[in-house]
Every structure is written in structure tokens, then in C-alpha cells.
């Protein structure tokens, strides 16, 4: 009898450990998907600072919309001076800030932020398609896949928690 109790206890402990490891893996995947929004926002700002300072290169992970804003800001700056660059930088910060907000809510496991963020980032990728920048477009697709994996993990975590709440209520 004691041996059976010990074996049952070890099986329960092993199951609990596997369940916990799986949950940690899923949580890591969800956080990783949400973190893409922060990377996109941060590197978009870096890209804008580089472009607005007169350099002619950027990271492929950034937003096409901020590069578009920067191009217009540089043209306007030729006509009205540095105020054009300042306005461009403010608009860039606003665009990047939207993705920071998506990242914050995605980390809190709000599925809508993943979905809306993916839609906006996919639309942003179309700008690269228009100018035939296939490397940046390809990276957009890669990032979208990473964000989607975060969404899938978030859905799974939310489902697990709902099951636990139902079991606790029973």
C-alpha cells in the first residue's frame, strides 16, 4: 500500500512538473510575440534618427510608415528648415508609440492588441511592396509570424486559465 501511494505521488509530481514546464514555455512564447512590437517601435525610432540626421541607411525591421514620414520631413525641411525634421520626429514617435502600446497590451495578454498590431504591421509591409524593397517585406513577414506565435500562445494561456477557473468553481 505504501509503495502504491509513493508511486502515485511521484506520478502526480511528474505530471505537475511537466504541466508547469509547458506553461512556462507557452508564457515565454507569448512574451516573445509581444516583444516584437517593442523591437519594431524602437528600431523605427533609431531608423528615423539616422535618416533625419542625413545618413542613408536603416534597419530592415523598422516601420515603412516612419521611413515615409522621414522622406517627407526631409523634403519639407529643405523648404522651411529644421522645423520640418522636428515635425517628422514627432510623427515618427507617435507611429512608434502605437506599437509600444500594442506591446504593452499584448504582454497583458489582450488578444486584440496582437490582432490589430499585426494588421497595421502587415499594411505597413505593403509600403515596402510598393517600393519593391523585398528584404524589408520579407522581414515584415518574419516578424508577423513571430507575433502570430505570440497570439497563439496567448490564446492557449487564456484557455488554460479559463479551464482552471471552471475547475476551481466546480
Express each pLDDT in 44-65 by its tens digit. 999 999 989 888 777 777 899 9
Q: What whole-number distance in Å separates Cα of residue 30 and Cα of residue 35? A: 9
Cβ pair 87, 28 in contact under 8 A: no
The beta strand positions in the chain, using DSSP E, are: none
Residue 104 has pLDDT above 60, yes or no: yes
> For the chain, what is the radius of gyration of the CA atoms?
22
Q: What is the pLDDT of residues 9-36, one digit of tens each?
A: 666 676 677 878 888 999 999 999 999 9
Query: What is the structure's pLDDT at 160?
Result: 86
Percent share of the chain, pLDDT over 70 = 91
Q: What whole-number distance in Å separates Cα of residue 54 and Cα of residue 41? A: 20
Q: What whole-number distance in Å separates Cα of residue 122 and Cα of residue 148? A: 12
Amino acid at each position: 500500500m505504501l509503495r502504491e501511494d509513493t508511486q502515485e505521488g511521484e506520478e502526480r509530481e511528474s505530471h505537475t512538473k511537466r504541466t508547469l514546464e509547458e506553461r512556462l514555455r507557452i508564457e515565454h512564447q507569448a512574451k516573445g510575440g509581444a516583444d516584437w512590437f517593442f523591437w519594431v517601435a524602437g528600431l523605427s525610432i533609431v531608423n528615423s534618427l539616422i535618416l533625419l540626421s542625413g545618413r542613408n541607411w536603416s534597419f530592415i525591421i523598422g516601420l515603412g510608415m516612419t521611413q515615409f514620414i522621414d522622406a517627407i520631413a526631409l523634403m519639407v525641411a529643405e523648404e522651411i528648415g529644421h522645423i520640418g525634421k522636428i515635425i517628422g520626429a514627432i510623427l515618427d514617435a507617435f507611429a512608434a508609440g502605437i506599437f509600444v502600446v500594442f506591446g504593452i497590451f499584448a504582454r497583458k495578454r489582450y488578444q486584440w492588441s496582437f490582432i490589430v498590431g499585426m494588421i497595421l504591421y502587415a499594411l505597413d509591409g505593403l509600403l515596402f511592396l510598393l517600393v519593391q524593397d523585398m528584404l524589408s517585406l520579407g522581414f515584415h513577414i518574419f516578424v508577423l509570424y513571430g507575433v502570430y506565435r505570440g497570439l497563439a500562445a496567448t490564446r492557449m494561456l487564456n484557455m488554460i486559465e479559463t479551464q482552471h477557473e471552471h475547475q476551481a468553481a466546480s
